[in-house]
Amino acid sequence: MSRLQELGQKIDGREAQIGIVGLGYVGLPLAIEFAKEGFRVTGFELDNEKVRLLQESRSYIEDVPAAEIAEVRAKGRFDATTDFGRLSQMDVINVCVPTPLTKTKDPDMSFIARSVEEIRKRLRGGQLVILGSTTYPGTTHELFVPILEESGLKCGTDFAVAFAPERIDPANKKFKVRSVPKVVGGETPLCTELAVKAYQTIFDTVVPVSCSQSAELVKLLENTFRAINIGLANEVALMCHKLGLDVWEVIEAAATKPYGFMKFLPGPGLGGHCIPVDPTYLSWKMKSLNFSARFIELATEINGHMPDHVAERVGDLLNEDRLPVNGSHILILGAAYKPDVSDMRESPALDVIKLLRSKGGNVRYHDPHVPEIDLEGATLKSVDLSDDALSSADIVVIVTDHSCIDYERVVSLSHRVFDTRNATKNVTAGREKICKL
């Protein structure tokens, strides 16, 4: 029996040791799910503070309760370490590290490259290595596998490699980790089989595809689809502003059609790691093949312009009150990229704040999930949403629609409210103060 066949038996018997490289919003939930299913799991992390918190059974990820960490640690099923030498002990290694863009909008492979190099140093026969970080088609086959094979071992014979994209939606209470189907594509049929076997222990549904490149493209297609349709919704919002129409009314009415229409909503811009970034990965890859991804580029242009549109609208609304942006008191509600999370990655709120500050606006923000933000060398702290904070602002701009905020109160105490998220749709009193995107 080969080492890889033995690995399959270890997975079936919950005897395989699971390693998770990167304990962020993807890696930590995955680690806990494996541990809850009876596996011994080790998380590998460069951040000493994260490791310390986990060793104390404390969570820094809102979707992972501290009680769940404490439970699996008490059973001896989960620990975290900065010692990457322990990778040699792992049977299955999941790589869940960031894949941002560089300043020139090129894929930043440095986190993946560093991780795979650490694994190569300790690679042994009978291991399964799964890349889960979102990346361009071909990364697993062209970058990941060749580095691992520098060890002298052969992929598909001595060790296995697969790509399985993350599909986590932070703060989504309806679709949690195990309920979202897991897509898996291996370098060989045996690689796929082993990865499917591993993930079937923690996911309700596993969807195998023919190769790692297909799995990589699946992830990019999902978020490119969203980015392009959000771009359309944003362009419709711009049209409605020109036509003097309520974009939210138009979209909600269109959504009553029971077929052929899927509702996407406009906003102040795109945020998070996935939707603003993933289409650019695909566009970058296609440029290397002399193919122009025109839909992606157009949607990126429209979505990227939305913070400018918001800042321009704020200026116009202040002007209606005979106030310049320069010196006006502007209160931003929400700094996170989406409701009810603390994630600031690519948040359009940062761009809106920068633009208004560059025009001389006296900008403050309130976000119950984000106590402070670093902005161009300055640290801004979230202010209390007091009566005075609302009433003293010349305009309140809703950028992130956190569910814990009382928007009836916001409108009643504010002079004027610019709502980019339709958060005030159910407000009844003071609607004359509200302006929509």
Query: Which positions are annotated as active-site residues?
Result: 274
Task: State the sign of the Cα–Cα–Cα–Cα dihedral 58, 60, 64, 65.
Answer: positive
Residue 242 backbone dihedrals phi, psi, to 5 degrees: -65, -35
Please give the DSSP secondary-structure letter assigned to residue 138.
Answer: T
Read off the tokens for 430.
């003071």
Q: Evaluate whether 346 touches 272 at the Cβ level (below 8 Å).
A: yes
Interatomic CA distance for residues 397 and 217, integer angstroms: 37
Residue 392, judged by CB atoms within 10 A of its CB (0-12, 13-18, 19+), counts as middle
Query: From the centroid of its chain, how far is CA 282?
Result: 17
Cβ-Cβ contacts under 8 Å for 215 (sequence gap 6 or more): 162, 163, 164, 165, 183, 184, 185, 209
Interatomic CA distance for residues 6 and 238, integer angstroms: 59
Interatomic CA distance for residues 235 and 63, integer angstroms: 33
Interatomic CA distance for residues 59 and 399, integer angstroms: 27
